[in-house]
Structure 1
């Protein structure tokens, strides 16, 4: 199943690279929307991975990548699909990221949380593969080992069934395509970035542009319905970003300097504790609130000691911020663990207990 969406392909690629610890500047450079004209995301099946990586239960014999549906038009025009059947393999240029290949090969068959640290400079690698029309234009076949570039062969050797394949088509036809493989594990479980990395000071209007959005629905990791999962991811990512920026703008207006990194938002000003924020959206269900509360609490307790860079020795206040109010019991859970809770009301104003509102200067 594939999802044709330039915006979706760019966003999921950015989130993955951010979790790999790639600097925001690099991500912005590689995934500049102005460079591309189209893109798609496809979940791989056993029929689309090399023989050595197929699951033991499969009977699939093919190894080329099958592209069907609207994604075909990223490789051929409608007219070409009608007339190009049976032609020889056509070579296409692809760009790959060395960090992505290294991560896929590091994981091997394991699709679970394993710490991975890429210390080399992140670079684009120029390689190539081939495309071909089959099934009377209903399918485009990609890749043939005897014709693929060495880096593309290495790339495919790290891909397994259920992994996501991301293709972005450059506007410059000479550049070809930027290709990314994302392992089928929860995005937030890809990596624990190196401790000690400095946080970056940002403006309230730009914070969260490429942040690591830990605020994700549980069904996204299943990748069963890629179209639905992509839609959910984009919607919650946008709401998460909006929540971060609302709070950051309020803090900016109160004289705080704003920083981001793995943490959603960190705020400082003279003669004040460092404020650590974890932002969470809510879908209105009790189960989602439970998951989001658990995640937020765990992340705040973790961030208090790690992932705060240059602010490690400062006195800190831990604050969970929700898109709307949560239950009294959950608020009590945060208080018992030394954390504060704030939330937005229906008008977009920040609400919370008097103590934390006074500490923030909002009371």
Structure 2
């Protein structure tokens, strides 16, 4: 029996390989993958052979946004039983023995691994395969009412949830989201879930703006600098990961406001209007992945209070991964794109 996987070999070299059957350790379960969401990091490995400082040095099974069904429970008795539908929390926190980090924030552990990442060698293989062996602690049973297709949004929704909460309470406040890609749209949804009085979202393209409007946001063209500067938002979530987006986030913030830097900027020095940030006494805060929010996100997806309909715009068979990646790379025609691996059909 084959076990097909989506494997990045080098920049522009994406293949469907048979990786063989998984051989789980005692604390690992075998999961038949149902859906895998295509993330920006997956696109970077495909297009550039690297995602930031994580450079491909060996073939890498991509994918860390995953839902599926346990087909073989962990031999040590930990984790969910066979037949359980699950979502996957892809982080394994590790210290490096030198760098201090807050124990209650595992996302900041300096030597952590993440599924589908080339940060370390050997690489941390991901989950874009028909069957994968995963530590049982990564597997979260789906609450009643949450289907596998929607559950594939849990990981990026947790990223957005973490970012919104980095600003403190947004209840009753005006929130602006700069960049309405999948993470930005999920940030809009989380801000509304958390009681924001108004949410305004920007983007260059009509499709993401229309999806943000469907989430209840007021939308602006990202090129309308005057309108963005007039927002005076209490909280701004910068989710574009671009230099113009960071500048727009600072300009959109009210005096005394908070800017959450969610979109990952390029390594090295990045230009930013810091004089404005200083004179407005803005709080600039980073947001990286997520910590303990995963279960809360699953519960909110299950009960519908985190409204995500329409954010998943394309579901494509995994054997057509190259076409799916090309679609995901075009923000004018897609939002979140997911690969379908067959489990749970």
TM-score, with normalisation over the residues of structure 1? 0.28
More helix by share: 1
Q: Which has the higher contact order (CA 8 A, sep 6+)?
A: 2
TM-score, with normalisation over the residues of structure 2? 0.29
More strand by share: 2
